[in-house]
Amino acid sequence: MPGRVIAVVVVALVGCGRIGYDRVDDDVGLDATDAVPTDATGLACNTPVRVHELPVPTGKNVIAIDVAATTTGFVAVWSIEGAVYSAGLDVDAAYAITVNQSGSLVADYGTPDLAIESNGDRAVLAIDNVSADAIWFYPLDQSGYGRGATKSADGVHAHGNGYLVADPSELVFGVAATNGTDTVTLEREIDSHPWVAPKPTLTGILADNTGISRLRDGYAVISGRGAQCDLTAVDDNVDPTGAIQTMDMTCHNATVVQSATSEHVVAAWNCEDDMVWLTGGSLDSALPAYHALYGDAEHSASNPRLAPTTAGIWYAFAVAGGRLGRALVDDNGEARPSVTPDLIVGSGAGPFDLVSRADQAFLFWTEPAAANGLWAMRLCE
């Protein structure tokens, strides 16, 4: 690989029903601040760049972020203790990022269980709302401003960061969640309540986190929990299809994506043994044996993220001490020799996310020690 980049940036990272109806509080909406555009910041390969200073109230820190690719760039959302905010980032053909909307209040409660996805110029932010016993959905535009009324799916909860996915061919989203007994899947139109009710997908399985990816004419759904990961497929009516595949080990922070070059999926998770793990292949047959990607007692790894490109599936993970690592794997989950799994952010990283756009993978993370700065890196072989 062309020279590894070890970036010494500067915060500790996270380690190892019924359908809703129109709400009287549909105007919870956005309290927009004035947009404060910044000069474009180019992203050279594997080089960390500070792209924004997140407007976070004094004394608060970011507890979770999630980023979605849009027609014009990215929309980023972040959660603090007590609120969720959004911002818009434009990106040009030279990978220069410009802030076009610096920060808007989306919701007056905060949680680490939030996920955002977009379908072109329209996005949906999903937030698990424990006090309301529901997942709430906020329609946003590509700059992170609100587009309409808040909707909900009641009696279900979503945990983790990869529980929402867009169907690029239609204005619908798949959601993986739990109902207190089962892992369930539901589908919702971009600006309406779910139009396919939550259906049991993995019965008798109460996950500590869920993940979902678009797959052919349906979705791949993963359920991470204390004893095992369960992975299966559902169709566009979110009815299960095929056999359930199980990884029989402790499984937290589970996530799944489809390859950009085939119908294979790659799944990633962390155990409680200082390592991040993965497997990959077709859900039409038995997946190959899972294997560790990175980690040991000195470099305890957890909390993986995945982003598919035609070069392979990029894999980012947290490492103890506020560090971040990356690798590149094929659609069978095997590491590509062009990228050695290793650290790329040497210290100070807070919550992070990995997203693909225009066949490039972008790593985003916060640096609370320096005014909650938002950093970005374009990952390259």
The model's pTM:
0.90
Q: Would you say residue 58 has pLDDT above 70? A: yes
Q: Which residues pair with 175 in a beta bridge?
A: 164, 186
Ordered alpha helix ranges (H), 193-263:
none
Residue 226 φ/ψ, nearest 5 degrees: -60, -35
Q: pLDDT for 152-207, tens place per residue?
A: 999 999 999 999 999 988 899 999 999 999 999 999 999 999 999 999 999 999 99
Instruction: Determine what percent of the chain is predicted with pLDDT higher than 90.
Output: 83
Q: pLDDT for 227-269, tens place per residue?
A: 999 999 999 999 999 899 999 999 999 999 999 999 999 999 9
- CB burial of residue 227 (10 Å; 0-12, 13-18, 19+): exposed
Contact 228, 222 (CB under 8 A): no
Q: Would you say residue 30 has pLDDT above 90? A: no
Predicted pLDDT at 93: 94
Residue 38 φ/ψ, nearest 5 degrees: -120, 165
The half-sphere exposure of 357 on its side-chain side, counting CA atoms within 13 A, is 28
The CATH code of the domain at 31-337+368-379 is: 2.120.10.70
Taking the CB of residue 367, how many other CB atoms lie within 10 A of it? 24
Domain ranges of the chain: 31-337+368-379
Q: pLDDT for 77-121, tens place per residue?
A: 999 988 999 999 999 999 999 999 999 999 999 999 999 999 999
Q: How confident is the model at residue 369 (pLDDT cuts 50, 70, 90)?
A: confident
- Provide the terminal-to-terminal Cα distance of the chain, rounded to the nearest Å: 6
